[in-house]
C-alpha cells in the first residue's frame, strides 16, 4: 500500500487507506488489510501533488457522462475532441471506460501501443494537436475482457492522470463509463483540486434512459461538478432521402427491393425530392424527451443529435464527421452543441482557450 494506494486485494467499495473510515467501515469487514488500514497513519495522498502538477498545464477539463450504456457517449466524446482540434485547440482525450474502451477505434487508433519516456507515458496522437490515452492501447488482445475490481480501476485512472505527459492542453475531454461507479468518484476526487469545468451528459429520448440521467445529474450535484448540459442523442432517424432503401411487402410476406424503381421515379418526376432529408422517430418521445427533463430540473439543454447512419459510419471508421459533407444531418447539430458549450465557459473559437 505504498503512497496510500488501494491494494488490489481490497473489497470493491474500499474507502482507501487514507480515509478516516479506513479499516472501520462496513465494506472493510473480511478484508485482509483491515487491521493495517485501521492503524496506519492518515494524511494527504502524495500522488495528488503529482497530479496537480501534471494538470497545471491543462486549461479546461470536461467530463462526458451517461446514465446508461449504448446512448452514444463515446461517439460524442470522440467528435467533441475532433471538433475542438479542428478549431486549432490543443486537445487530449482520456478514455476511463476501463471495461469497454471504444475510443481507440473511434479515433482510428486500433493496434497502437503506448510508449514511455523519461517524463511519462506519451499519448497516441491522431493529429499534432489531438492526443489520446486509453486502456485499449494496453491490451494484448482487443477481445480480452478486463475483469477488474474497483481498486485496480481506480489505480489505473490515478496513473493516467499522474503519469501521462499531455504537455500544454487547452482541453482534456474525459470519456467516462456509464453510470455512477468507482471510476466517476475517482476522476472527480483526483481532479477536483485542479478544477473541472463541468460535465456533459448524453442520453437518448426515451424515459428508460432519462430515469438514469436524473441520477447522473444528482451525482454531479453531490460531488460539486457543474452540469454544462444534456445532449439528446439518437433524436430521430435523419438521412438524405437519396440514401434510403425502399421495399414493398409481397403477398408471401417477403420484402422486395424497390429502391432502383423509386429513385428512378423521383429523378424523372420530382428531382427536387432527392435534396430532402427524411426523418423518423425511433424512440418514444411522448414524455417530452431530454428538453422537458432539463426544464423540470433547471439545467441546460444543449440540443438534439439525430441518429445519422453517416455519423455511425464515421465512428466505425475512426474519423471526424466534420471533415467532409457526408454527415449532413448530424454534423451541424453537433457543431451547434459544441459552440454552446464553449459559449457557456466564455471560450472564444478565434482567440484560443
Binding site residue list for ATP: 67-74
Q: For residue 149, with 0-12 CB atoms within 10 Å meaning exposed, 13-18 middle and 19 or more buried, which class applies?
A: middle
Q: What beta strand segments (E) does the chain contain? A: 58-66, 91-95, 115-117, 120-122, 124-127, 130-134, 169-175, 198-203, 227-240, 247-249, 255-257, 277-280, 301-307
DSSP for residue 164: B
In DSSP terms, 307 is beta-bridged to: 237
- Please state the residue numbers annotated as binding site: 14, 28, 31, 37, 67-74
- Please state the residue numbers annotated as binding site for [4Fe-4S] cluster: 14, 28, 31, 37
Show Cβ contacts of residue 111 under 8 Å, excluding neighbours closer than 6 positions. none
| In the block, residue with C-alpha cell 408471401 | 252
Cα 45 versus chain centre, distance? 27
Asked if residues 199 and 228 have their Cβ atoms less than 8 Å apart, the reply is yes
Amino acid at each position: 500500500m505504498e503512497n496510500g494506494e488501494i491494494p488490489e486485494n481490497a473489497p470493491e467499495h474500499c474507502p482507501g487507506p487514507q480515509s478516516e473510515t479506513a479499516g472501520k467501515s462496513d465494506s472493510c469487514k473480511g478484508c485482509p488489510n483491515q487491521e493495517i488500514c485501521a492503524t496506519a497513519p492518515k494524511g494527504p495522498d502524495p500522488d495528488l501533488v503529482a497530479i496537480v502538477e501534471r494538470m497545471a498545464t491543462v486549461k479546461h477539463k470536461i467530463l462526458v457522462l451517461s446514465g446508461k450504456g449504448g446512448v452514444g457517449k463515446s461517439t460524442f466524446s470522440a467528435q467533441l475532441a475532433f471538433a475542438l482540434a479542428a478549431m486549432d485547440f490543443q486537445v487530449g482525450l482520456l478514455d476511463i471506460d476501463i471495461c469497454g474502451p471504444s475510443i481507440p477505434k473511434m479515433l482510428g487508433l486500433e493496434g497502437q501501443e503506448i510508449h514511455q519516456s523519461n517524463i511519462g507515458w506519451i499519448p497516441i496522437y491522431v493529429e499534432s494537436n489531438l492526443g489520446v490515452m486509453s486502456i485499449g492501447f494496453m491490451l494484448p488482445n482487443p477481445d480480452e475482457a478486463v475483469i477488474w475490481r474497483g481498486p485496480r480501476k481506480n489505480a489505473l485512472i490515478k496513473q493516467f492522470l499522474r503519469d501521462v505527459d499531455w504537455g500544454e492542453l487547452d482541453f482534456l475531454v474525459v470519456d467516462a463509463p456509464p453510470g455512477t461507479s468507482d471510476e466517476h468518484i475517482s476522476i472527480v476526487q483526483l481532479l477536483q483540486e485542479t478544477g473541472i469545468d463541468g460535465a456533459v451528459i448524453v442520453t437518448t429520448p426515451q424515459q428508460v434512459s432519462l430515469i438514469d440521467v436524473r441520477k447522473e445529474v444528482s451525482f454531479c450535484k453531490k460531488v460539486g461538478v457543474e452540469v454544462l448540459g444534456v445532449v439528446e442523442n439518437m433524436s430521430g432517424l435523419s438521412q438524405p432521402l437519396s440514401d434510403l432503401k425502399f421495399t414493398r411487402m409481397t403477398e408471401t410476406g417477403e420484402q422486395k427491393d424497390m429502391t432502383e424503381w423509386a429513385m428512378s421515379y423521383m429523378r424523372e418526376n420530382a428531382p427536387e425530392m432527392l435534396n430532402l432529408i427524411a426523418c423518423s422517430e425511433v424512440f418514444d418521445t411522448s414524455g417530452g424527451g431530454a428538453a422537458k427533463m432539463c426544464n423540470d430540473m433547471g439545467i441546460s439543454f444543449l440540443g438534439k443529435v439525430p441518429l445519422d447512419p453517416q455519423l455511425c459510419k464515421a465512428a466505425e471508421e475512426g474519423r471526424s464527421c466534420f471533415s467532409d459533407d457526408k454527415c449532413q444531418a448530424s454534423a451541424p447539430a453537433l457543431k451547434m452543441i459544441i459552440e454552446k458549450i464553449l459559449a457557456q465557459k466564455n471560450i472564444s473559437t478565434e482567440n484560443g482557450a
